[in-house]
Chains A and B, each alone.
Chain A
Amino acid sequence: MIAPFLIAYLVVFAYPVYKMFALSFTDAPLIGEGQWVGFGNYVKLFGQKLFYTSVWNTGYFVVLTVIPNTLIGLGLALMVVRLKGWLQSLILVLFFIPYILPVSVVTQIWQWVLDQQFGIAQHIIEFFTGKRVSVFRDPVWAMPMVALVTVWWTNGFNLLLFIAGLRNIPQDYYEAAMLDGATRLQCFRRITWPLIWPVTALVLTLQLILQLKIFDQVYLMTEGGPFNSTYVLLQLVYREAFRLNHGGVGSAVAVMLFLIIVVVSVLQYQLLRVRER
């Protein structure tokens, strides 16, 4: 009974994991055999400016998305959870629907909304900066805009988790606190925040791992430009392996990404557990 899953697992998962490490020590092209080069690919990577740029940009993107996305999710959940009945369902749908859209649809919609000439969001940008900005062609604006679109796209899921968490808090706690004359702010600090912390920790962890794997939005909106200001690690994998035909180097970048994700998630797990105590 486990055979079908196990076979599929070994063929399309376990073997590629092994192969990713094996390839990273060779100078293989994308298709075909290569020579063993030891740590050559890694040495090459560490001498390459684009590698550091990609690491930096991936980190920058994580900073721009993870905490804002978590806070906005919590804020919206606190508002939505007070509503009742069909109104709550309706509003939840409005917030959640971006999350189920395919990434290419999301990027097409936002490219239109932010279009330099006719985009409707340019009215807002013009109000603040006094001029229209071609946001995806401007090195300062590009990454924050990709982050903004990502938050819009993925926030529904966080909102959902927070609402589930808030619903699990017994109402009597608030009633008791209100009787004692607690203000809303006190209620939040003493009751909601400590009890919602496990969900917050979960959202932070999921977000962090998810956003480190950024590729689709960047590729579709900016292709890593302008001037590599949005170049990220997975894009480097794509470039080395599929554009430049360096399967070995591409795998080495993939291994680095893999290690970063493992280290970061273990670290964060420890950190959040400490704070829980």
Chain B
Amino acid sequence: MPGKTIGNALLLVLTFCIACMWAFPIYWAVVTSIKPEQEVVMKTTFIPEVFNFSAYYFALFQTNLATWYLNSIVTSITVTVVVIVISVMCAYALSQIVFPGRKLLYGIILASFMVPSQALVVSQFVLMHRLGLINTWGGIILPQLIVPVVVIVYKQFFDSVPKELREAAKLDGCGEFQILFKLYLPLNWGITTALAIITYIMAWNAFLWPFLVTSSENMMTVTVGITQISDAFGVKYARDMAVAILAAMPVAVAYLLFQKRVTQALMLSSGIKG
């Protein structure tokens, strides 16, 4: 059927055009960032006439970007590791160990979905102040450690591991920690990478909490810090775009490297088994 083939080809072209339009703002930001500042405002060129990296030079060496990078790297990696470790332990206990209050605890964790963490910022701020953690890495990290969905996803996966495996390991004299870290975790390694990457991306992108808990420029994370640049130096488009691109780089790279894992984690955490 030639009509059908033409229809499909048209649809393909249309889809491709929409996709390009969708991604255009990102392309435009990249192009702007490698133009000299005059070309940016003088005319609209879709491919730069001169390739100029002075905006990147400025962003890297004349702002606090390096410090913000350090803060972001330290806090988001810590958040990722701690979230995974404490959640996996809790999920294992909920799934495999019989203890009083297990059902209740699971119910409470499920119910925490309903609580918007953004509504807690005032009382969390007061708490961090009491603990003396305002403007510290600890203050940025702590409230991000509770991610109920990670516990729930892990529990579902542990529930589906055959019971015989655990019993065999017990007969061999393994303790619960050994069973978890030597048996259950390697069995669910794919899930762990997926959840870790998505946790890392979320932690890197966190805005509201780091914004509230850091007031000193030296403690800000990248996502918060870059909003200070135009305030401090006035608007300069090539420079602002270079800064934005550098801020997005660590998540963009993580996403492009682990595309499948990212999408898998998102689908799991929204309740669709992909």
Q: Which residues of A contact B (CB under 8 A)?
A: 1-2, 4-6, 8-9, 11-13, 15-17, 19-20, 23, 30-31, 76, 79-80, 82-83, 87, 89, 91, 93-98, 100-105, 108-110, 112-113, 115, 117-118, 120, 152, 157, 160-161, 164-165, 199, 202, 206, 209, 212-213, 215-216, 220, 234, 237-238, 241-242, 247, 250-251, 254-255, 257-258, 261-262, 265
Contact = CB atoms under 8 A, between A and B. Distances in A.
Interface of B: 8, 11-12, 14-16, 18-20, 22-23, 25-26, 28-29, 32, 40-41, 44, 85-87, 89-90, 92-94, 97, 105, 109, 112, 114-116, 118-127, 129, 142-143, 145-146, 151, 176-177, 180, 201, 204-205, 207-208, 212, 222-224, 226-227, 230, 237, 240-241, 243-245, 247-248, 251-252, 255-256, 259, 262-263, 266-267, 270-272, 274
B122 A254 contact: yes
B237 A118 contact: yes
A12 to B, nearest CB: 5
Contact of A83 (B12, B25, B94, B122): B12
A100 B116 CA distance: 21
Contact of B224 (A16, A104, A237, A251): A104
When A and B form their complex, which 3 residue pairs have the shortest distance between CB atoms, in order from nearest? Answer: A5-B90, A19-B123, A16-B123
Given A101-B248, A103-B207, A258-B116, A251 B89 contact: no
A20 to B, nearest CB: 5
A258 B90 contact: no
23 contacts: A2-B105, A5-B87, A16-B120, A16-B123, A17-B123, A20-B119, A31-B126, A76-B18, A79-B14, A79-B15, A83-B12, A87-B12, A102-B205, A103-B223, A108-B226, A112-B29, A117-B41, A161-B267, A237-B121, A255-B119, A261-B116, A261-B119, A265-B114
A213 B209 CA distance: 13
Residue of A20, A101, A160 ringed by the most chain B CB atoms within 10 A: A101
A2 B93 contact: yes
B119 to A, nearest CB: 4
A108 B18 contact: no
Nearest to B227: A104
A202 B271 contact: yes
A12 B142 contact: yes
A73 to B, nearest CB: 12
Contacts of B122: 20, 23, 30, 237, 241, 247, 250-251, 254
Given A12-B127, A100-B255, A1 B176 contact: yes
B225 to A, nearest CB: 9
Given A16-B127, A265-B114, A109 B244 contact: yes
A10 to B, nearest CB: 10
A30 B270 contact: no
Contacts of A209: 116
Nearest to B145: A8
B26 A109 contact: yes
Given A5-B90, A216-B208, A234-B118, 19 more contacts: A1-B97, A2-B94, A12-B142, A80-B15, A87-B12, A89-B259, A97-B252, A100-B201, A101-B251, A102-B248, A104-B244, A108-B29, A108-B240, A109-B28, A152-B22, A152-B25, A160-B267, A261-B119, A262-B114
